[in-house]
Structure 1
Amino acid sequence: MRAGGRLVVVGAGLAGFRAVETARREGHAGELVLLGAEERAPYDRPPLSKAALAPGATEPVPFRTAEELEDDLGIDLRLGEEATGLDTAAREVVLGGERLAYDALVVATGARPRAVPGDHLAGVTHLRTADDAAVVRRALDAGARTVVVGAGFIGSEVASAARARGLEVTVVEAADVPLQRSLGPEVGRLVTRLHRDAGVDLRLGSGVTGLTEVAGHVTGLALEDGTELAADLVVLGVGVAPSTGWLEGSGVDLHPRDRGVVCDDTLATNAPGVWAAGDVVHAPHPLLGGDLLRVEHWTSAAEQGAAAARHALDPSSAQPFAPVPYVWSDLFGHRLQLVGTSVADGVVVLDADDGGVAGTTALWHRGGQVVGALVVDRPRVVMKLRRRIADGGPFDEALHAARELLGRAGT
């Protein structure tokens, strides 16, 4: 990008924030524009399904206030503005009737919840924004009869928050175990145990056929087996899809499965001057032998946002970028930490020695190499395993090391 040129970042989540912050830190003196669909300055999203649901929780604190972004970093901050198109030939982002020129562009629009029939009803919400979290928290404060649809990480965390208050909660999951699609049945059985030990009414292998309502407010759900569940609050955790509708027809290569942005290993797209970061990105990863990987985790968004900005400012110095993914979840008093990937040839689960949950460890392998690990309540262990994954260590050695580490590991 030419010196003093305009860098435009579309998406004011974590990846977008880290992109503009890094651009200034790296010495970019030109124009820097950050576009965000929400009216809020960038803020942290993982607490939305955790601490933000606790009694007395306050509004999320932004990474930096709008004034700090504008005055301290010199950013042209445009909140409440959503990109509607992209002209890669003219190098312009389309904002309704306006066109915003760029010298380099970082796409960081994240992901949106998948639409579900009935999600317009009062009392029905996804959990993706601070406003969504406020809706859930107020309902829990009022003791709402709560049903969560989907037992992924977010749905499970909502159930955990409800049980922490002593509220009854039902979780409906179409798969045979929670997190089956992302972590497999072996780890899914562990999460099943966490739910049931905590007193969650867990309905597995059951889909939702419809919602019932009175005067526009949800009153319950109907399940495939004919069961009807009463509900004042329905939280939808049925997954997300990359927010890339504005890129359709632009020529930017989109993945045929979910329309995420396809990048090379430096986070560059096929369009000159266009880079991408965060939940939208499909990029080659060595853990998958160079196959594409899309990650919806906090650390990946932060790291990719910074890398995409550096590479956009100086493409000639761009290097392959593939850190080991990391994510955590707090469920029913336990911390689950996952590093690497569960897309693998197989998994070995080491049960806790005392028959409890703390210390349970899962290790995934691919082609004789350790590619992923999940550990419960043992942060020191998971960080050591992350280093082995990053080094491409043999699976047998990682399994032996995990057994040794668990034998002497504390929390």
Structure 2
Amino acid sequence: MSRKIVVAGVGMIPFTKPGASKTYEQMGAEAVALALADARVDYRDIQSAYAGFVYGDSCSGQRALYEVGMTGIPVINVNNNCATGSTALHLARQAIESGEADMVLAVGFEQMNPGALDINFPDRPSPFDRFDQTRESLLGKLPEVPNALRMFGGAGLEHMKRYGTPLETFARIRAKASRHAAKNPLAIFRKELTTEEVMADKIMWPGVMTRLMACPPTCGAAAAVLCSEETARKRGLDSRVWIAAQSLTTDRPTSFGDDMRYAVGYGMAREAANKVYEKAGIGPEDVDVVELHDCFAHNELITYESLGLCPEGGAQKFVNDGDNTYGGKYVTNPSGGLLSKGHPIGATGLAQCFELTQQLRGQAGERQVEGARVALQHNLGVGGACVVTMYRNG
């Protein structure tokens, strides 16, 4: 990248269950205030802002930011499904890299309802029509299984069939998430679970998924202040953490082929990750800590392979060897991930940014990854978009 983009400040509020949170504009404003304070700048220093949310009316971004200040800056609302937060971050980085601005805000928030996700406009074609057709052609209709679970469970089932991956491997991933979240005061679920408890939970799809293997609907907000290295230096801001490379990809025809892993973004993730490794000149072997999109334990497993953390078909061994946690090759989702930290859709990508910034600063407390210098972020939205970001310290 032509300009070095610094993550000058981050903020995140505790994630909560639907019905227990403040309203979206209060949550968004609170996360922004925390990010500004962390960066030691004022809202009047921000030159443009990108606000991410999925479940909200147009200009909800302005509504949240007007609680912080009304300075006349451009406010752009972003909706890229579950990749919304990192898409806002991507746009903020681009604005600085292009020279259009020197200090930009990205914020994501979501005030969700309980229960399974559904479309909001049933009177028109769904953006998921082609995905639904692909899923049904490969798996059948499965009307008793919620739609998102069919998609990601189907991807996990594909891995099971190809490589003999047992259901217990997904349960081990979920148990790992709970151990990490137990040390995160901002996570929605902080109770430690055993692999056996995950396996014994309510069956959502026999042989494929239990309830604990899926992330919960969540409310929350997170934000980040980005600036150019020159601005950080002039103002004496914390410039330790910077974006070494970033890529946003969308679907190719393989997403609608004969492999459910690709329907949920395996190909997008692999392409984005490869672009990031090439841009940064750093391979997966150099990464210390990873925040990846574990909306289901099944997606975490296939993402190990799409990001190159282990060979294709090697995820079961990767998990069994403990290479996805403290003491292994990588610490994946030290925050607890979407499975335990929670998944307020518009905020997720920026919550990942918050966690990795804290890790690279050495400020993650009990969940600190020792000696973390290179961090990788993966944020996925079916429909589709995938953002992979590499951060560095030094």
Same fold (TM over 0.5): no
Richer in helix (by share): 2
**TM-score for the superposition, normalised by structure 2:** 0.31
**TM-score for the superposition, normalised by structure 1:** 0.30
State the structure with more CA Rg: 1
Bigger RCO of structures 1 and 2 (CA < 8 A, at least 6 apart):
2
